[in-house]
Structure 1
């Protein structure tokens, strides 16, 4: 990995992949076809892109039973425990509706209401992501969403990966459909004969999924357009080079555009980690992907002081941040921008990816400066409650009417004065 000083430039930002003109046109065409032809379009695109002919888009109970037969009891128990950890964490995020009453009789409040329906997209093809199922479905359930629909592209066998189906069943998903890509997003947004439209779509996907989510946003809500994964490690001489290298590579193997960064005031540690990354790359199964990622987006920043290292992290605003320093927890309060913070030697990033409980759907590309991990609030909406008493109205009506006329809105003012005259 290349080693540079902080003064040589600080960034984890990669150009946002907004797709080519041709890709955007393909996505718009797919959406229109699904709008106009429903299930017929979904089946045609599934045959075209996934090379599978389907007569039934919905996953059947027999397919789920078959999935359980393919997954060991040990893995099933791990999935169950992970789901419980995720549920327990997100239950602590729940908010309550509230009402206050003032002395003059004014009643103000906020009503919390779960969304009616959510569609969860789970990437498929050659990979399987049971963790993505749990991280998107469980917070929606905790929020109180009644209808949760899952979509995922089928493999060549015509069904979904066994681990994904087991995770969906354990999470309590009732409706699962074997459809992926932009056509799945269109179906969730606008509905077909088989799939009812939803209010919000969450979950990651390829460029066509991302473009489709952009296209339907406004007709439905979406979670975010997530970029490639990234990790930053804040470390000093107490950290171990082999462990840091392993953590950096855990993100690099995701994608050739993933970003792995070490920030340290220790030149000795920087050099040791750089050598260790090259050593571990040699035996990594996804070496070609990780090596390209490290070559293009891997960097070690050497700072003069710990304070400068922390400031560098805040400028980076990484998706994942590991603090591997002496008295690591004391540094957490100084971190202003990070999607998830992993504290201490035993809090390797995959702990959060799979098992600890906090959500692994995190802001990327520096957006941790202003956004948060996927959470229960994302599946609820808030309504304001306003009830003025006669006393409160009489006390404030003249002020309200004047404010309305300040903005040139005479009908607003008259709406107030009509009541005062009565």
Structure 2
């Protein structure tokens, strides 16, 4: 997919710069030509020698390079490429981009380019959450800049955990491939959007939290990454998207109407409020049970120290409720089945019992790393059979699913 594509990779200063070495290797494995640009900060973490050795290209570092600028080198870098990728992108670099500052080679290239730009942010969680950073992100998105990540995780330099970790190289590569694929398949962004233009899509994502008392709750390990990626992909395809999200540590996708909920009951009501729609994709990992009677005070141990007896009751089944509804059921209803055993049998049973059209089934056993991770391997189960999809990034799964949905909707209803 990337064979012969020319990608300018801007590496800015941060500990995540070490990941750019693997990123270069992964891009070149797929046939891309990677032209590196390094800021002064980046050179404090990795060397131009290492970057040049892996890319087999000249590494550009200076704006005022007499040899490179004899033919206006920064303009050539800005224009002679298929994509500009920034990984890692620091808060400082994004602030300069948002305000049109061009005080080094990297920012001069970005100000002069007429090519698409994909940004992989990396910074401390407090820096990411800072109001100034969020204003800059909003401005960049309004300017047409594309983002991959950041992800939630532990910060290498501080030991803190939160949202701000740079996406893993393979996930960034998947985002690059998705972007290049869209540019190749459609002659313009408007044509790309036309695939779901005029369609309304409702998506659920993330876990639900079922309160036990004011302190504790029942939950699961869902990160919401897959559901959020599907929402973003559907919006890019031109759909009007309503995302019903449980508690996640992810930014709201660009161009999506996001409703935040906590419990399964709240999620069901929000889904009903968002319908009718052409498509409903139930990607959330909804808790099967809740406490029959939530305590309004923190539950304490008794005198013997014995654990309290908790009485559980079944939560509403959102997929089945919509699947069997006479008026709210959409043209296409897609459910998810996260299983640890008997994947195919459980997915087929779910398809029938809940009256879904497709089930996206995946094995979430701990050793797969899928639950909470950046990659997925799914099977699409329908009445006509089973499709096995290869291991890929969750953003790529999302793009592929949206393409399949658009193809389904484009065909006459039998």
Provide the TM-score with structure 1 as the length reference: 0.31
